[in-house]
Amino acid sequence: MLYHHVDVNTPAITSISPDQFDKHLAIIEKEGFRVLSLDTLIDNALNGDADVKEVAITFDDAYISIYREAFPRLKAKGWPFTIFVSPALVGTGNPFYLDWQQLKEMADHGVAIENHTMNHPHLVRRLSGESEEIWRNRVTREITDASDALTEAGFSPTRFAYPYGEYDLALTEIIRSLGLQGFGQQSGAIGPMSNPALLPRYPLAGVYVGESAFRDKLRSLALPIKHPDIDPLVSENLKPALLLDFVNPNVNTSRLTCYGPGGVMQISEEARGRVSITPASELPIGRSRYNCTLPKGNRYHWFSQLWMRKKTDGSWYQEP
Ligand SMILES: [Zn+2]
């Protein structure tokens, strides 16, 4: 699970109200889920038993409402959580961000403090005229500088969250080579076939915080497919087909449902256990996703694929 602000006065697109956050915590309890540290959850999920009721809670960006609203609630329940921090934003006196003292206090209560780059840039955006090698050095430094700053502050970061959830294959390779686990903002549950450099999380903010949708996400299981290695940046083909290769070729995919730009996606069976999904409309400028679910009892297998499209003049889109 991924949260940013727990606040009614911050941008809706990255916020959940304290009341709604309480409802999520109540659902976790009512459904009988165990809240684990990210560490334990990832170990279990990558190795393991997909039917277990386990969840981890994460926050990106180190906003002050984590300390004011989320921490007291989670501490009272004894539930661990993780904060992905960009050190350059911490302790600057900016009242919207946590300071180092607050991070230390939470860490003393079992909160994990992890890497979200030094300055929170759009890592996949090459500067004009920048070679791949210079880009690789620049983004590597963004990541290692953050690890160094967090280590110096007394934390032990081993995990990384991609700013804006944006990645490409060159970047996931850098994360892997640095020995970090990587977390995106694409929906889905983690399973043995997940890529440890590109683990999914459910972003819970804006219109995506409702109770029944949260319950479905909480109960979700990894879609049992071989992880597709795809560069999400599109330029020529604006309706890219995505191949899903199921681990078990005899799986019944007739109840697989996928949504993408333009709504329900077309699914065609290419071979046994292999389907191709195609969107109804072209990908919009900015970030978009394909989301696929396959029911299993009262739960869903879930997989999401990120796409990014630049503006028609070739420049990058702005954040809303
Ligand atoms: Zn962020």
Tell me how far the alpha carbon of residue 270 lies from the centroid of ligand 1, in angstroms. 38
Tell me how far the alpha carbon of residue 211 lies from the centroid of ligand 1, in angstroms. 24
DSSP string, 160-205: EE-GGG---HHHHHHHHHTT-EEE-S--B---TTS-TTSB---B--
Cα–Cα distance, 77 to 174 (Å, whole number)? 37
Tell me how far the alpha carbon of residue 118 lies from the centroid of ligand 1, in angstroms. 11
CATH architecture label of 233-309: Sandwich (2.60)
Q: Checking DSSP bridges between strand 5-6 and strand 54-55, what pairing results, if any?
A: unpaired
> What is the 3-class SS of 60-120, one letter each residue?
ECCEHHHHHHHHHHHHHHCCCCEEEECHHHCCCCCCCECCHHHHHHHHHCCCEEEECCCCC
CB 37 within 8 A of CB 92: no
Domain boundaries defined on the chain: 2-222, 233-309
Q: Which DSSP letter does residue 68 get? A: I
Tell me how far the alpha carbon of residue 249 lies from the centroid of ligand 1, in angstroms. 38
Cα–Cα distance, 243 to 81 (Å, whole number)? 34
Tell me how far the alpha carbon of residue 161 lies from the centroid of ligand 1, in angstroms. 8
CB 281 within 8 A of CB 264: no
What is the model's pLDDT at position 50? 58
Q: Which amino acid belongs to residue 58? A: T
Give how far Cα 200 sits from Cα of 57, 130, 245, Å: 12, 30, 18
CB 28 within 8 A of CB 78: no
Which positions ≥6 away from 155 have C-beta within 8 Å? Answer: 103, 107, 113, 114
What is the model's pLDDT at position 115? 98
Tell me how far the alpha carbon of residue 24 lies from the centroid of ligand 1, in angstroms. 21
Instruction: Quick: pLDDT tens for 146-164.
Output: 999 999 999 999 999 999 9
Tell me how far the alpha carbon of residue 120 lies from the centroid of ligand 1, in angstroms. 6
CB 203 within 8 A of CB 263: no
Tell me how far the alpha carbon of residue 4 lies from the centroid of ligand 1, in angstroms. 8
Class assignment of domain 2-222? alpha beta
Q: ∠ CA 284-276-302 to the nearest 5 degrees?
A: 75
**CA 153 from centre of chain:** 25
What is the model's pLDDT at position 206? 84
Tell me how far the alpha carbon of residue 175 lies from the centroid of ligand 1, in angstroms. 16
**What parts of the chain have a pLDDT lower than 70?**
49-51
Kindly tell me the burial class for residue 254, based on how many C-beta atoms sit within 10 Å of its own C-beta (0-12, 13-18, 19 or more). Answer: exposed
Tell me how far the alpha carbon of residue 258 lies from the centroid of ligand 1, in angstroms. 27
Tell me how far the alpha carbon of residue 204 lies from the centroid of ligand 1, in angstroms. 13
What is the model's pLDDT at position 186? 97
What is the model's pLDDT at position 49? 66
Tell me how far the alpha carbon of residue 61 lies from the centroid of ligand 1, in angstroms. 5
